[in-house]
Amino acid sequence: MTKSSYTQWGAFGDVSFKGRFTPTSFNRVRKFSLKAQEVVNGYPMHQFFGEKEQTASLTMELNNAFVDITKATKTLERMATNGTTRTLVIGTKIYGNFGITSISESKVETTPSGTITSIEYKIDIVEVR
């Protein structure tokens, strides 16, 4: 596991969340499997099969004032294309190890000369145990 120094907002693997409003949103979903079993002349009984995969969506702004955008972008893309799993930490809470299932890029801001100053990313992740 790669050691990384986390900001008070957290990190996803080697990509630290640095900035006043990052991550801008975090949505985690946990699902559980409870199956009905038919019973002769009676109400169905239910059996608990455990927890399904945990998924999450994370929207974050990578801003040049706080992070090297080129390095962070390449790291996210490499994690996605290689199926690399990393630990998700937000604040002081560790959510587990996750792999990227999709990446969306939006809200690219530049200087008048074309230098990128910030990019907003939305990543969908799935927990890997």
pTM, two decimal places: 0.74
Q: pLDDT digits over 38-88, tens only?
A: 999 889 999 999 888 899 998 888 888 878 888 888 998 999 999 999 998
Q: Which amino acid is at 20?
A: R
Q: Compare 9 and 31 and report the one with higher pLDDT.
A: 31
Four-point Cα dihedral 8, 9, 10, 16, nearest 10: -100
Average pLDDT over residues 23-44: 87
- What is d(CA 19, CA 95) in angstroms, rounded to the nearest whole number? 20
